[in-house]
């Protein structure tokens, strides 16, 4: 995923819909009932679904019960296991007898299912995509109603509407220690590697095949070797003449998909090229800022690349994962020692079970096949619990965005004349727009658009030729797209556009609908008003714009970007959030160009951090070829630099940084590693009773624990091995015991750690660390510890409750999704009780609290009972109490009249309370009060309609009709809805005793009373307790 960098382009896909959690059945078992269908729809579709199932068809993804080829570990006596981990080799070996037999089985099962489905739906279903390798299922077009029917057919695991997900280097490789791998200095007895023999699968927006970052011959003279054999390519390039192909011996495959840009594999967005270049781009000199070229290269510059232009429909992304697994198998048939890394800088900012996602499960299959999966954590920070899928899957390698030491200084505009210019018009904060970079301007004439064309201050209409000749055009944001404004200014001779924001708040990067030929920057509404005032108060005003610059400051490195998504992960208790951090801020790499021009740009986001880890993993695989993908992940985590800061200088937590920033110089030399199987990942699904906290990962979380619990980890010795003493850095108030407390481990040996957590209910802080200190010349390692990512004891009180009735108070806890769950704390308050207090023990879910009482709302921190974040041990005192709206609201109107009475319609808002009612009439002359009608309503609707008839009333009288609505559970005197009635004089000779409403004074003696007509106006709303 990518966040927006100031001054640089950003063309991102958007999320089209909300998501819901879906339960997954046990492995290889049919569901007992229908699975939940996730309809990812736009707002217009939501409205149609609310109104009833519409007939428009959409593409749905369907996952079937059987495991895909990469995850099948056996169990059927007639089918041998096909999982690479079970077979003990990388790749799925498609040509083996076991694979062919299992694929035939999947085909037969799918065909049988489709036959059953056709019977259910009454029409034949034709698959659009078929998945067998990384997922088992298909896609097909159907209506939402048909998708609901499909979910009831036995054999279905998941039904999911197709939807879009988001797109979520120069100094970067050096900052993470890549040069020490390149030259071999970090690896004893190894010549080093720049990624030779590693293939990078980039699932993204395609690639610019003409950029020199992806040429077969690198600028340093290195000639790439194609693991498929020179001239053999994959995807759209398969079968091409090598002399005419867009592919080459570095870029060995390019895939396009019909649903994306008509099947073109070429990048027109720039995101995919940037990611590929960051991971494995050739060395290139780039004229970026200043007079001297900037040298950049990827982390693993001699790796090969396959690009999959699949962003961002989930159906095409799922298909791309199938192609990745198949391509790796094809490469292994030719070059058995080749390793593969996949980068996925794509995702949703939603916490959904990864066991119920096609992309997440596809990533698990790739890992099982021996492919390292680097995944962007997301750009929804800095809030807690913002990491989404698929990054939150425990088998993914989720990467946070941190800084390196290089700083790109944006240009700054300053009013330069005439005369002395006040400081507030110097070095104005400004954000560059997309388009040409600002290269510096000196004392250019400053012209306000409203002066040359009054009424066209926003530049949405063309200006006269020469209006801005050689000048800076100043105009206001709004009414039309930025590219129209800037091109109108350019056509009138402007060399630069200074755009004034039309509203207070954060400045934005101006995205361009069409190409523009001159640079632009946006300033705030306040600064803009001051600039316009200066222009109008001075003759010949001028402005200068400083040159952008590059500087290096180590103190600015290793800071977590605020946009980087954080943990914890509620749907995967025991998952921290990101696993690692890597540079992702202002990363310079190739973007989209064409055959005639290669373009480079600096972008920011976890999308840029993830390929740093992908490249790092590739280098580790090259120098440690016996490590599995899981072991590579653990090595990067065990050796990471944990001392990261937030942008504001405070210490970053494991929820944001994971284990820390990647350090390749250390990662290649760890004394032990950890691994985990796909079977254990599958069994850890909390929906099936699994515990992700017990997974064999290089971190600890006590999510799901009570006051104490025990977790285990299994370590495997590497070639470095070593002897280690275990030193525990405990969270305050908690005891952590590790056995053994010291150990020695040699290559291939295993050590099981038993870690016991005690006194968790006494925790006063949430973060700790387990250190493995080498007692010789080895490397010290560490694993982060968090108390489940959840906070400890909290309490609060409410003072001076004006309680006039017995009240039951219930405390609720709010989770990260805003759902309230009863916390089991209740307190009875009798009349006159002066205060109420509460105390909550630690709970294994995200800690926020809300409360309510029958008859009262308890508002905490002025959030109206919606909950708030609590720090460990925090005492909450700013809690207030307010009356809940009373249960009933009543409106009344006259429906019709009869002799001696009338029919009244009452509309009663019940708030769900059952009620009894009585309608009385009070005669103003006699004072008599008589019951007209009564009754009760127990099966209430939110709004209850009562039609009551008033009968037996006399003409020429004043009445008050009193409607009383009450509930015996509410200990308060019932109020009444009162309507004053004045009967009209009756007109003689009207026939049948009928009355007419003359509007005359009722006391006129010339008009005898013949019939009472109740004039009932709209009653005022009254609230009853």
Catalytic residue numbers, as ranges: 204, 271, 607
Contact call for residues 250 and 230 (beta carbons, < 8 A) = no
Exposure on the CB side of residue 173, measured as CA atoms within 13 A: 31
Phi, psi at 278, each rounded to 5°: -65, -40
Question: Please, which residues bridge with residue 923 across strands?
Answer: 959
Phi, psi at 709, each rounded to 5°: -165, 165
Phi, psi at 439, each rounded to 5°: -115, 10
- Rounded-to-integer distance, Cα 883 and Cα 639, Å: 56
Q: How far is CA 545 from CA 103, 293, 434, 884, in A?
A: 64, 22, 17, 58
The H or E element that residue 902 is part of is strand 901-909
Phi, psi at 319, each rounded to 5°: -65, -40
Rounded to 10°, the helix 271-280/606-623 angle is: 30
Extended strands (E) in 613-765: 645-646, 672-673, 700-701, 709-717, 722-729, 735-739, 742-745, 750-758
Nearest alpha-carbon partner for 242 in 226, 255, 257: 226
Is 887 strand, coil or helix? coil
Tell the residue number behind the tokens 């990388």, with chain if given.
90
- Rounded-to-integer distance, Cα 1022 and Cα 886, Å: 9
Contacts of 721 (CB under 8 A, 6+ apart): 671, 672, 744, 745, 746, 747, 749, 778
Phi, psi at 836, each rounded to 5°: -140, 140
Extended strands (E) in 97-243: 129-131, 137-142, 156-161, 166-167, 198-204, 234-235
Tell the residue number behind the tokens 């400053």, with chain if given.
446
- Rounded-to-integer distance, Cα 951 and Cα 230, Å: 100
Tell the residue number behind the tokens 């590219």, with chain if given.
483
Phi, psi at 638, each rounded to 5°: -60, -30
- Rounded-to-integer distance, Cα 90 and Cα 336, Å: 9
Contact call for residues 766 and 847 (beta carbons, < 8 A) = no
Instruction: Give the 3-state DSSP-derived string for 330-375, with helices as H, strands as E and coil as C.
Output: HHHHHCCCCEEEEEECEECCCCCCHHHCHHHHHHHHHHHCCCEEEE
Sign of the C-alpha dihedral computed for residues 197, 203, 209 and 211 taken in this order:
negative
Question: Please, which residues bridge with residue 858 across strands?
Answer: 851, 881
311 cis-preceded (ω within 30 degrees of 0)? no
- Rounded-to-integer distance, Cα 610 and Cα 200, Å: 12
Q: What angle do CA 413, 414, 416 make, to 5 degrees?
A: 140
Contacts of 257 (CB under 8 A, 6+ apart): 263, 309, 310, 316, 319, 320
- Rounded-to-integer distance, Cα 840 and Cα 867, Å: 14
- Rounded-to-integer distance, Cα 864 and Cα 852, Å: 10
> What sections of 261-417 are H helices per DSSP?
271-280, 314-334, 358-368
């Amino acid at each position: 995923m990518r966040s927006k960098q100031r001054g640089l382009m950003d063309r991102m896909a958007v999320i089209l819909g909300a998501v819901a959690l879906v339960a997954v059945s046990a492995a290889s078992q049919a569901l007992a009932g229908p699975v939940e269908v996730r309809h990812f729809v736009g707002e217009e579709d939501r409205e149609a679904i609310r109104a009833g199932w519409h007939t428009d068809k959409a593409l749905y993804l369907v996952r079937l019960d059987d495991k895909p080829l990469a995850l099948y570990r056996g169990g059927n006596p007639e089918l041998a296991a096909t999982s690479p981990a079970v077979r003990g080799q990388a790749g799925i070996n498609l040509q083996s007898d076991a694979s062919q037999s299992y694929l035939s089985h999947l085909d037969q099962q799918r065909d049988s299912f489709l036959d059953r489905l056709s019977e259910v739906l009454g029409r034949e279903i034709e698959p659009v995509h078929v998945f067998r390798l990384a997922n088992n299922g298909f896609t097909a077009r159907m209506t939402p109603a048909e998708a609901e029917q499909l979910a009831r057919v036995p054999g279905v695991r998941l039904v999911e509407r197709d939807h879009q997900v988001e797109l979520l280097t120069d100094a970067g490789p050096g900052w993470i220690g890549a040069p020490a791998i390149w030259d071999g200095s970090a690896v004893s007895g190894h010549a080093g590697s720049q990624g030779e023999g590693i293939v990078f699968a980039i699932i993204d927006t395609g690639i610019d095949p003409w950029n020199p970052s992806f040429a077969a011959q690198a600028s340093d003279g290195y000639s790439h070797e194609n693991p498929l054999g020179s001239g053999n390519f994959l995807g759209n390039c398969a079968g091409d003449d090598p002399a005419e192909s867009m592919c080459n011996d570095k870029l060995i495959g390019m895939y396009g998909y019909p649903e994306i840009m008509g099947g073109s594999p070429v990048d027109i967005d720039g995101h995919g090229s940037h990611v590929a270049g960051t991971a494995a781009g050739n060395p290139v000199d780039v004229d970026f800022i200043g007079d001297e070229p900037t040298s950049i290269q990827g982390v693993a510059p001699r790796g090969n690349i396959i690009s999959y232009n699949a962003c961002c429909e989930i159906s095409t992304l799922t298909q791309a994962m199938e192609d990745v697994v198949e391509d790796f198998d094809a490469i292994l048939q030719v070059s058995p020692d080749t390793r593969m890394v996949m980068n996925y800088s794509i995702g949703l900012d939603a916490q959904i079970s990864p066991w119920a996602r096609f992309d997440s499960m596809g990533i698990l299959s790739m890992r099982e096949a021996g492919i390292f999966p680097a995944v962007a954590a997301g750009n929804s920070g800095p809030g807690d619990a913002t990491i989404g899928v698929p990054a939150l899957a425990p088998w993914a390698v989720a990467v946070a965005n941190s800084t390196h030491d290089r700083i790109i200084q944006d240009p700054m505009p300053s009013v330069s004349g005439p005369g002395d210019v006040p400081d507030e018009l110097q070095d104005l904060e400004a954000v560059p727009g997309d388009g040409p970079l600002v290269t510096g301007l000196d004392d250019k004439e400053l012209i306000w658009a409203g002066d040359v064309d009054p009424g066209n201050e926003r530049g949405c209409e063309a200006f006269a030729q020469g209006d801005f000749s050689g000048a800076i055009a100043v105009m206001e944001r709004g009414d039309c797209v930025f590219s129209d404004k800037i091109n109108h200014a350019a056509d009138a001779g402007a060399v630069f556009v200074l755009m004034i924001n039309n509203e207070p708040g954060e400045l934005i990067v101006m995205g361009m609908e069409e190409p523009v030929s001159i640079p632009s920057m946006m300033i705030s509404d306040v600064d803009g008003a001051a600039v316009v005032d200066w222009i109008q108060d001075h003759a010949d005003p001028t402005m200068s714009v400083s040159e952008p610059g590059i500087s290096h400051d180590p103190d600015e490195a290793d800071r977590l970007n605020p946009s980087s998504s954080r943990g914890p992960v509620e749907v995967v208790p025991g998952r921290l959030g990101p696993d690692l951090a890597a540079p992702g801020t202002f990363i310079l790499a190739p973007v989209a160009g064409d055959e005639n021009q290669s373009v480079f740009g600096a972008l920011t986001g976890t999308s840029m951090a993830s390929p740093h880890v992908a490249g790092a993993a590739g280098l580790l695989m090259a120098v440690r070829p016996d490590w599995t993908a899981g072991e590579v992940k653990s090595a990067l985590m065990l050796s990471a630099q944990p001392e990261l800061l937030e942008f504001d200088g405070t210490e970053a937590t494991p929820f944001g940084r994971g284990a820390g920033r990647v350090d390749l110089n250390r990662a290649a030399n760890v004394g032990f590693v950890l691994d985990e199987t796909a079977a254990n990942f599958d069994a850890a699904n909390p929906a099936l009773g699994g515990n992700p906290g017990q997974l064999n990962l290089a971190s600890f979380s006590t999510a799901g624990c009570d006051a104490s619990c025990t977790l285990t980890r299994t370590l495997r010795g590497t070639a470095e091995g070593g002897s280690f003493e275990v030193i525990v850095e405990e969270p305050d108030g908690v005891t952590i015991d590790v056995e053994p407390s010291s150990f020695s481990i040699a290559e291939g040996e295993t050590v099981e750690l038993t870690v016991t957590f005690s006194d968790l209910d006494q925790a006063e802080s949430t973060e700790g660390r387990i250190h493995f200190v080498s007692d010789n010349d080895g490397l010290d390692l560490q694993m982060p510890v968090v108390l489940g990512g959840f906070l400890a004891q909290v309490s609060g009180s409410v003072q001076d409750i004006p309680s006039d009735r017995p009240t039951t108070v219930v405390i609720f806890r709010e989770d990260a999704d805003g759902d309230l769950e009863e916390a089991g704390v209740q307190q009875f308050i009798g009349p006159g009780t002066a205060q109420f207090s509460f105390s909550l023990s630690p709970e294994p879910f995200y800690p926020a609290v809300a409360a309510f009482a029958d008859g009262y709302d308890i508002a905490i921190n002025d959030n109206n009972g919606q909950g708030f974040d609590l720090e460990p041990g925090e005492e909450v005192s700013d809690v207030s109490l307010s009356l809940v709206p009373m249960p009933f609201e009543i409106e009344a109107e006259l429906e019709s009249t009869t002799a001696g009475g009338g029919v009244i319609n009452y509309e009663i808002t019940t708030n769900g309370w059952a009620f009894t009612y009585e309608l009385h009439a009070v005669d103003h002359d006699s004072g008599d009060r008589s019951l007209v009608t009564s009754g009760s309503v127990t099966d209430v609707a939110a709004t209850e309609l009562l039609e009551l008839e008033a009968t037996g009333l006399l003409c020429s009288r004043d009445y008050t009709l009193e409607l009383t609505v009450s509930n015996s559970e509410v200990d308060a005197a019932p109020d009444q809805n009162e309507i004053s009635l004045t009967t009209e004089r009756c007109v003689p000779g009207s026939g049948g005793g009928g009355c007419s409403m003359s509007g005359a004074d009722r006391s006129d003696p010339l008009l005898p009373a013949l019939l009472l007509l109740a004039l009932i106006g709209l009653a005022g709303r009254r609230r009853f307790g």
